Amino acid sequence: MQNEHPLSDEILELAEQALRDGKPFMVYNNSVYFLDKTDVYFFSTLVEAKSFAADNISDHDRFHVLPFNSIPDLLAKIPYGEQLHQPPIIDPDQNGLHNRDGNAFTDALIEHFESKTISEQLNSKNMNQENLQYLSDNLKYMGFGENLKAELEKNMQEGKPEFKLEFFNEIGNKGFEAMLNFRKSDSTDMYFFNNYQATLHRSNGDTVEQTFYLNKGKGVTAKEAFNLLDGRAVHKELLTKEGQPYKAWLQLDFDNKTDKGFEVKQYHENYGYDLKVAVGKFAVAELNDPDKEKALIASLQKGNVQSITIEKDGESHKMFVEANPQFKNVTLYDGNMKMVTKEAMVQYQVNGTGTAKAQKEDIADDKKKDLKPELKTKPEKEKKAEKTLLPKKRESKGKGLGVS
């Protein structure tokens, strides 16, 4: 089957504009298989490009600097059909799923399989090989790496009606494992990756689990699952029962457990959380550069804890930040990953955000909000949840977290 070039027409147009703007250094995320426009950045000097790549390297993203002087030169340096990353990477975020958790390549593969008739699927050995290639690529895009391909192929060749693959990775001092479930079609030899049970072993010894469902190979990626189990929120594009797309922040409710894990809270667009506004309240140096700002917002939307530099009163402070949609703000950590209190956060806000008095009043209001749930009756809290977590969640009994 013909492969798609990792550089789309949209990215090539961005590269042409970058050359016209005097920015001949492209920085791209080489932990993905095919590039999305949110994975590439352009800079005027090699120093700027290398600095950006170094500042944004993490457990989930690796950036490579590529100088180029023309579009043919760029295409020659990333040939047709060639993978972007050099050695195989097994960290749980090597995916480029940005548009409804998929990309053009994944969608094209799905359409290719669905266009085949049942007889073609039953009688074509090539179809089985394409099924293997699709599933192995899907594992890669979902963040489970390439090391499972041999075991995947072995199980498919044995013709098992269903089988499981085990994945494990350690991020920092926390172990993340997943049991991936595959099932054979009742009418063809095709296999499908339906869901996976993710388990996070926290540093304090606690273990949390959740089942995540896939829809045509799309869903919560491995790194996003890690972030959700670690208590952070992830921004996703989802579908209503009627198939209409909408965006929402997802967060696990560890106080309410089901047989498949935990209830999932959704903070819909109408909830009123604006991540850019929340980050913009602080003197974050990365916000002064459009490319760095784009990378920062994209990383926070994945649920990552992202390093930032706050410049205040002539001093630079290396800190960390994560999205906090529930309270419509962000959570700050110092250089040692110690959470910054609400009172101390005021000193890092930009000039002009408001007077110190007004900021302290905001903090006081937040404290009042924190106390309000204790004064309300249970029915009132449930009514409030129904109003804020839009759209209304589907019945989760017997369900895990999916995006369909």
State residue 48's pLDDT score.
81
* Helices assigned H by DSSP within 351-399: 356-375, 378-388
Query: Looking at the domain assignment, is residue 3 inside a domain?
Result: no
Mean pLDDT of 256-260: 83
DSSP 263-327: EEEEEEGGG---HHHHHHTB-BGGGGSHHHHHHHHHHHHTT--EEEEEEETTEEEEEEEEEEGGG
* Model pLDDT for residues 77-117, shown as the tens digit of each residue: 875 434 444 333 333 333 322 333 444 444 555 555 555 55
Please say which residue of 43, 77, 111 terminates a domain: 77
Bridge partner list, 146: none
Domain count, the chain: 3
Chosen domain end from 196, 220, 244: 220
Same structural domain, 197 and 243: no
2 falls within a domain: no
Tokens of 1: 């089957």
Are residues 188 and 337 part of one domain? Answer: no
Q: Is residue 200 part of a domain?
A: yes
Decide if pLDDT at 139 tops 90. Answer: yes
Domain final residue pick, 175, 199, 220: 220
Are 240 and 376 contained in the same domain?
yes
| Torsional sign, CA 233, 239, 244, 245 | positive
Q: Which residue has the tokens 């920085």?
A: 27
Q: Could you list the residue range(s) of the whole structural domain that residue 55 is in?
A: 9-77
User: 307-339, pLDDT tens digit by residue?
Assistant: 999 988 888 999 999 999 999 999 999 999 999
Structure confidence at residue 128 (pLDDT): 81
111 and 147 housed in the same domain: yes
Domain assignment present for 112: yes
Burial of 404 (0-12, 13-18, 19+ CB in 10 A): middle
CB 37 within 8 A of CB 18: no
More confident position, 293 or 363: 293
66 and 130 assigned to the same domain: no
The structure tokens listed for 208 are: 């949390």
**Claim to verify: residue 199 and residue 324 sit in the same structural domain:** no
Is residue 84 one of the residues assigned to a domain? no
Q: Strand, coil or helix: what is 220?
A: coil
Q: Does residue 235 form part of some domain? A: yes
What band does 210 get if pLDDT is binned at 50, 70 and 90? very high
Co-location of 190 and 127 in the same domain: yes
pTM for this prediction:
0.63
Of 262, 165, 180, nearest in space to 217 by CA: 180
C-alpha to C-alpha distance for 312 and 162, rounded to whole angstroms: 57
Query: Could you tell me if 41 and 161 lie in one domain?
Result: no
Q: Are residues 237 and 357 in the same domain?
A: yes
Residue 225 lies in a domain: no
Q: Are residues 20 and 144 in the same domain?
A: no
State whether 327 and 348 are in the same domain: yes
Whether pLDDT at 167 is above 80: yes
The answer to the question of residue 90 being in a domain is no
Question: Do residue 202 and residue 254 come from a single domain?
Answer: no
